[in-house]
Amino acid sequence: MSGQFRGLIAAALLLAVQGRATAAIEHFPGDGAGAYATGRARDLFVEQLGKRPGESRAKIDRVFAQLFHGDGQEQRLYFETGANANGPLAYITDWANNDARTEGMSYGMMIAVQLDHKREFDALWNWSKTYMQITDPANPSVGYFAWSMGTDGSPRSTGAAPDGEEYYAMALYFAANRWGNGTGIYDYRAEADRILRGMRHHPLLTATPPFRIHPDDPPFVEPAQPWPSPNNRREAAEAAAAGTPLTVRVARPPRPVTVGPMVDEASAMVRFVAETNVGGTDASYHLPAFYELWARWGPVEDRAFWARAADVSRDLFVRVTGPRTGLAPDRSAFDGGSIDNWDGKPAQFGYDSWRTVSNWSVDYGWWHKDPREPVLSDRIQGFLDGQGIDRFADRYTLDGTPLSTRHSPGMVAATAVGSLAATPGPVSHKFLEQLWTMPIPSGEQRYFDGIVYLMSLMHAGGEFRIIAPAGTRP
């Protein structure tokens, strides 16, 4: 980071603290030529499909109403569940698996702040802080958020997943900029700063499980049978038909676990998990569009790191994606090399991977810093269109061999966000048309498909914006 850049940041901070931030504090060196610099969020449905201004927001509002406040059995993801001293409590649930995940909770908060729904935002954050944040000092993940919890607040895990922490932090900064800071857990900026500091500076802590989320909880012991889910029920039916027993988890003697930062300092990359015995990264966790903002708004001592992380992530996208398909693995080594999954097979394009095209395309839309990102969007959209835009599989090898027969609306929606970077033309148009005409996901599998669908509509429709501090761009 140049001295000039540091000086501008320091000046902006000083003026903001003194309450004298003005429109003159608008620009930093290296702002690129995207939405951050122009202040304009593109509506691709207007640009490429000829929709009228305002149609996109009206459609997005209808989808929000269904996914957050629709029928509880078939439509809704958002459920309010009483209140505590901090106000209403609510969770976003993976309906099929009957749990709440930091991924969905933080996505829900991001949707709420973008669409100006403060009650839902605060209720989701309150539930996250009340149930998911690890406060037991004997748990080496203390300070992080447990990635999966039962909807009754009981643990399904006692460790964290970095993608949830990243979205929590970004949503909280946007909330601070949109609504101002409150007190306690609603001092949004202080909470975002705390999360980012923890991601980079969490101490190395070692302990032996079983662990607790909170000091007064009973120790969490993972059950021998997997948690009930549609996949497990299908496997059970297949096993019963074949006359074979279901596989159960093999109990192993507890081993010490060491947890540290969520980023790898040497490579400036987000880790797959914070446990040090598990290496590598996940390209779908890389959010350079957010990192650029953290390099401007985050804790001052970490800003240079996030600026570097943005550039590193852009390079990783190019290195790990299939050169013909544009498909990204759901796990890779920090140097971009292949890394095996738990079953011993090389990491492939899986459910996490759907999001990667959105990550580099939003980065291009906000910053326009890397001309390789449009190439990647053209590549993946072209490959999947060639597979059949209405039937391509939702899992692949990186060279394009299908690994499933399911065609998932969430994957279609995420790939349509690629049109923020892709060359406008027939293929980009087809993906946007698919996104526009897609029914709102409902039923048992509505969680991931639905929440990715809504965020994709927001990205493509110009309603997923950089919400900047007063007196700054955009």
Task: Indicate the average pLDDT of the chain.
Answer: 91
Tokens of 196: 């980012």
- Whether the per-residue pLDDT at 248 is higher than 60: the answer is no
* pLDDT for 17: 31
* pLDDT for 345: 80
Cβ–Cβ under 8 Å, residues 461 and 57: yes
Cα gap 183→89, rounded to integer Å = 17
What pTM value is reported for the model?
0.91
DSSP character for 87?
A: E
- Whether the per-residue pLDDT at 23 is higher than 90: the answer is no
Based on the domain organization, do 67 and 90 belong to the same domain? Answer: no
Cβ–Cβ under 8 Å, residues 321 and 375: no
Nearest Cα to Cα of residue 128 among 66, 205, 192: 192
Cα gap 188→124, rounded to integer Å = 13
Q: What is the CA 241 to chain-centroid distance, rounded?
A: 38
pLDDT digit string (tens) for 146-196? 999 999 999 999 999 999 999 999 999 999 999 999 999 999 999 999 999
At 131 the three-state DSSP class reads helix
On whether residue 236 sits in a domain, the answer given is no
* pLDDT for 343: 72
How much is the average pLDDT of 222-240? 70
Based on the domain organization, do 86 and 64 belong to the same domain? Answer: no
Question: pLDDT band at residue 405, thresholds of 50, 70 and 90?
Answer: very high
Based on the domain organization, do 225 and 105 belong to the same domain? Answer: yes
Sign of the Cα pseudo-torsion (163, 61, 456, 420, in order): negative
The CB density around residue 79, as the number of other CB atoms within 10 Å, is 17
Question: pLDDT band at residue 240, thresholds of 50, 70 and 90?
Answer: confident
Cβ–Cβ under 8 Å, residues 374 and 367: no
Based on the domain organization, do 39 and 67 belong to the same domain? Answer: yes
How much is the average pLDDT of 383-388? 98
* pLDDT for 19: 32
- E strand map for 193-243: 205-207
Q: What is the CATH number of the domain that holds 8?
A: 1.50.10.10
* pLDDT for 222: 86
On whether residue 239 sits in a domain, the answer given is no
For residue 181, give its domain range: 82-231+253-261
20, burial (CB in 10 Å: exposed 0-12, middle 13-18, buried 19+): exposed
Based on the domain organization, do 374 and 406 belong to the same domain? Answer: yes
Based on the domain organization, do 303 and 399 belong to the same domain? Answer: yes
* pLDDT for 11: 35
- Whether the per-residue pLDDT at 249 is higher than 90: the answer is no
**Segment among 75-89, 131-145, 333-347, 434-448 with least mean pLDDT:** 333-347
Question: pLDDT band at residue 250, thresholds of 50, 70 and 90?
Answer: low
Cα gap 347→397, rounded to integer Å = 8
Based on the domain organization, do 326 and 369 belong to the same domain? Answer: yes
Instruction: Return the percentage of the chain with pLDDT > 90, whole number.
Output: 83
At 68 the three-state DSSP class reads helix
Based on the domain organization, do 178 and 92 belong to the same domain? Answer: yes
DSSP character for 467?
A: -
Cα gap 156→344, rounded to integer Å = 25
Q: Which residue has the tokens 């949004």?
A: 188
- Whether the per-residue pLDDT at 13 is higher than 50: the answer is no
Instruction: Return the percentage of the chain with pLDDT > 70, whole number.
Output: 89
**Segment among 14-18, 95-99, 389-393 with least mean pLDDT:** 14-18
Based on the domain organization, do 23 and 102 belong to the same domain? Answer: no
On whether residue 298 sits in a domain, the answer given is yes
DSSP assignments along 388-417, one per residue: HTTT--S-B-TTS-B------HHHHHHHHG
- Whether the per-residue pLDDT at 4 is higher than 70: the answer is no
Based on the domain organization, do 192 and 277 belong to the same domain? Answer: no
How much is the average pLDDT of 77-102? 96
On whether residue 453 sits in a domain, the answer given is yes
Cα gap 356→329, rounded to integer Å = 9
Cα gap 98→134, rounded to integer Å = 20
On whether residue 136 sits in a domain, the answer given is yes
Q: Count CA atoms within 13 Å of residue 86 on its CB side.
A: 19
pLDDT digit string (tens) for 277-297? 999 999 999 999 999 999 999
Cα gap 364→373, rounded to integer Å = 7
Number of structural domains (the chain) is 2
Question: pLDDT band at residue 29, thresholds of 50, 70 and 90?
Answer: low
